Structure formats: C-alpha cells, structure tokens
Amino acid sequence: MMTTSSDTSPVSLVTGANKGIGLEAVRRLIGAGHIVYLGARDADRGRPVAESLGARFVQLDVTSDESVSRAAALVAEEQGRLDVLVNNAGITGPFRDVHDYTADDAAMVLMTNLVGYVRVMQAFLPLLELSSDPRIINVSSGLGSFGLLNDPSRKESTAGQPLYAASKAAVNMLSARYAKLLPGIRINIADPGLTDTDLTRVPGHPGAGLGHSVEHGSDAIIAFATGGPETPTGAYRDRDGDLPW
C-alpha cells in the first residue's frame, strides 16, 4: 500500500548512477538535501557506491519491465512520491566504419537510450504526479542537435556515432512532446557535453582522452533538478545555456 513520506526533503532517482555523470549527480543532489535513490543494473557495483555516499540503492535495469516496476514499487513503499527523475542510463553502442553498422546495433542503442527512458518515465509517472514540484531530466547530448550538426564551428558537426546521435535526437523530441503533454511536470533535456567518463574512454571513441570533469558534465542536470520557480519546461541546455534543436 502506498504511503506518503512525511519527510519534506525532495526525493530523487538517478538511473545509470554507479559511475560517471550519474554518480556525480547523485553526490550533488545529496549535497542539496535530497533523498536520492541510486539506480544501477549491477547491485554488487551499485550498492557499495550508494552506501559510501549516503544514497539509497535500487536495482534498476532500464531494458527490463520487471526491474523498473520493482524499482517504482520500492520508491512508492518507502517514500510515497518522487520529486526528481534523472534518466541518465545510456550506452554509446559500437564504434564501426559506417558501412559495418547493423540493424541489431541500432536496436541495442535505441532499446537503452530511448525505449529505456520511456519505460522509466511511464513507471514513475504516478509517483511524480504526487509531488508538489515534479521534474524529469532526460540526459541527452549535443550530438542529438541538428543545429550543432550544421554548425562547422562546433565539434558535434564532425563527430560520427550515427546510432548514438539518432537515439539522442529521439530523446530530444520525446522530451519536448512529453513536456507539452504533461504541463504539470517540468521536463527538460540536459546535455553534459564531452565529459571524461568510461563512455568516452572506449576504444575508437573520438573524444578519448578529452572532455571536462563529471562535475561540469552534471551542471545542467543539477540546474534543472534544483532550480527555483523560474525553472522552465521543455528546455534543451548544457552548462552554458540553451542549445539549438
């Protein structure tokens, strides 16, 4: 049976949060006074990290209906609501010559980066709608921007990664449409920018050895999650401000 938490601290959930940008977002949200659920597929990796930060661990695989439903049930039982959802879990997919990509490659990337976001949002909508100020932050990328693709002054214009970029362009449209359909929830899109994480250190990644810190990479997420009444909905931003669609 669902019970509403008497604690006035905001309740947040971050997916894909046992390392990298997600972990930094957890750390900063805890610092802002939130009760934070650290979501990760692997309990052996996620639980110790959550305990070290003072977060609550929840096993959450965004590609599994059962896993996401269990996570939502846990938060409902323990808190009775959710104030902030950060959809962060994602994969880059394989790095290949463009001639060598397969339909299975595309399905794998989209199942995590797009379908996973939908799965998590739908499961947690009932809890978000019990919040007095619900927020969803969908982590995207500048690679999903048509404006940046066509701006030769930006590094996004020369990057490859067509499957990853397509998944993030889809996340942008998904988020913008959800923001219109759910005006009671602030739904925004955060671009971390090129950030030094495990995702950018894989062989063949064009940003290997480059990128700013995870703190800078989480700036837009935290701004959307903790901003005041002026926080918009349907915005697409990095740490420096609005991005072209």
Which residue ranges form the domains of the chain, and what is each CATH number?
A: 11-242 (3.40.50.720)
Confidence of residue 1 (pLDDT cuts 50, 70, 90): very low
Residue 221: count of CB within 10 angstroms of its CB: 28
Catalytic residue among 37, 117, 164, 236: 164
85-129 pLDDT, tens per residue? 999 999 999 999 999 999 999 999 999 999 999 999 999 999 999
Query: What is the rounded average pLDDT of the residues 214-239?
Result: 95
pLDDT at 212: 59
- Whole-angstrom Cα distance, residue 32 to residue 26? 10
What 8-state DSSP symbol labels residue 55? P
164 given a catalytic annotation: yes
High-pLDDT (> 90) share of the chain, %: 83
pLDDT value at 22 more than 90: yes
pLDDT value at 152 more than 50: yes
48-79 pLDDT, tens per residue? 999 999 999 999 999 999 999 999 999 999 99
pLDDT at 215: 78
- Whole-angstrom Cα distance, residue 188 to residue 136? 6
198-212 pLDDT, tens per residue? 655 556 555 555 675
pLDDT at 193: 86
- pLDDT: which is higher, 18 or 1: 18
Catalytic residue among 117, 168, 178, 236: 168
E-only strand ranges, 32-99 = 35-40, 56-59, 84-87
168 given a catalytic annotation: yes
User: What is the pLDDT of the chain when averaged over all its residues?
Assistant: 92
Who contacts 199 (Cβ-Cβ below 8 Å, separation ≥6)? Answer: 20, 90, 91, 92, 205
